């Protein structure tokens, strides 16, 4: 399920607040219901942070564990999914930063990332996602995050600010700089499809 599709679904599918309250009181089954309710939407979001299904499962788990540990911070003023998306963004961003530090798999990804110049003319959604992921993976985590949210999740600057916790001015500046870096990358890759 793509994130835009899930955005449509989220308005009419808010979880029962009772389950959240019960989870806070230590009811494991209530929290399992919360997880089952939101895991597809969270997985769709985390799929932008990794292309490895095993890592995806780990990240989705991390999101729900972290969400549970800070559940008391959820005031219920905004839909639960919005709050969960902020937690997910934090978890994904932290994962990228740790990957950059470790320089293991990600390094391989950078080298083997699908060059847009060699991408098929009419790529499937998976090929397109792979190409975009590979391209953005060449950027530092802050630039990568802002562009991932902008292109993959179709977030405007307000939404990016809300999900990342950065202020809107910073988001605009980062977006501008990241787009410039991306342009340089694309030129470097010799993208000329005119």
Partner 1 sequence: MTDLFKILEDLAARARREEPPTVDVSSRVVLRLRREAPVPAWPMVLFASSAAVAAVVVLSISLPLIEMLTDPLSAFFLMAANVLP
CB of 164 to partner 1, least distance (A): 18
Interface characters, 5-44, with partner 1 (x: CB under 8 A): -----------------------xx-xxx-xx--xx--xx
| Sequence-separated (6 or more) residues with CB below 8 Å from residue 42 | 60, 63, 64, 84, 85, 88
Please identify which residue in 53, 76, 140, 190 interacts with partner 1, judged by CB under 8 A.
53
Size (the chain), residues = 194
Determine, following the binding rule CB under 8 A, whether residue 169 of this chain makes contact with partner 1: no
Tokens of 44: 């769709």
Which DSSP category does 154 fall into? -
Could you tell me where the DSSP H helices lie in 70-150?
80-102, 105-112, 125-136, 141-147
CB atoms within 10 A of CB 85: 26
Determine, following the binding rule CB under 8 A, whether residue 107 of this chain makes contact with partner 1: no
Determine, following the binding rule CB under 8 A, whether residue 120 of this chain makes contact with partner 1: no
CB of 186 to partner 1, least distance (A): 5
Please identify which residue in 9, 65, 78, 108 interacts with partner 1, judged by CB under 8 A.
65
Determine, following the binding rule CB under 8 A, whether residue 2 of this chain makes contact with partner 1: yes
Q: Closest CB to partner 1 among 77 and 125?
A: 125
Determine, following the binding rule CB under 8 A, whether residue 159 of this chain makes contact with partner 1: no
Please identify which residue in 49, 64, 83, 96 interacts with partner 1, judged by CB under 8 A.
64
CA distances for 110 relative to 33, 92, 132, 140, 176, angstroms:
38, 18, 12, 12, 22
CB atoms within 10 A of CB 79: 14
Rg for the chain, CA atoms, rounded = 18
Provide the binding-site residues for partner 1, judged by CB under 8 A.
1-4, 28-29, 31-33, 35-36, 39-40, 43-44, 47, 53, 56-57, 60-61, 64-65, 68-69, 116, 119, 123-126, 128-129, 131-132, 151-152, 154, 179, 182-183, 186-187, 191, 193-194
């Amino acid at each position: 399920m793509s994130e835009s599709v899930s955005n449509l679904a989220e308005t009419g599918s808010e979880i029962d607040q009772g389950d959240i309250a019960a989870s806070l009181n230590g009811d494991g089954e209530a929290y399992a219901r919360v997880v089952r309710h939101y895991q597809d939407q969270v997985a769709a979001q985390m799929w932008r942070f990794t292309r490895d299904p095993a890592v995806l499962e780990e990240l989705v788990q991390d999101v729900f564990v972290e969400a549970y540990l800070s559940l008391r911070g959820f005031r219920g003023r905004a839909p639960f999914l919005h709050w969960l998306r902020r937690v997910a963004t934090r978890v994904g961003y932290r994962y990228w930063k740790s990957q950059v530090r470790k320089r293991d798999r990600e390094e391989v990804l950078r080298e083997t990332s699908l060059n847009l110049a060699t991408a098929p003319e009419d790529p499937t959604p998976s090929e397109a996602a792979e190409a975009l992921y590979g391209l953005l993976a060449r950027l530092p985590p802050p630039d990568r995050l802002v562009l991932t949210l902008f292109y993959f999740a179709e977030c405007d600057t307000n939404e990016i600010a809300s999900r990342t916790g950065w202020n809107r001015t910073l988001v605009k500046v980062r977006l501008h700089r990241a787009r410039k870096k991306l342009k340089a990358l694309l030129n470097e890759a010799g993208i000329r499809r005119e």
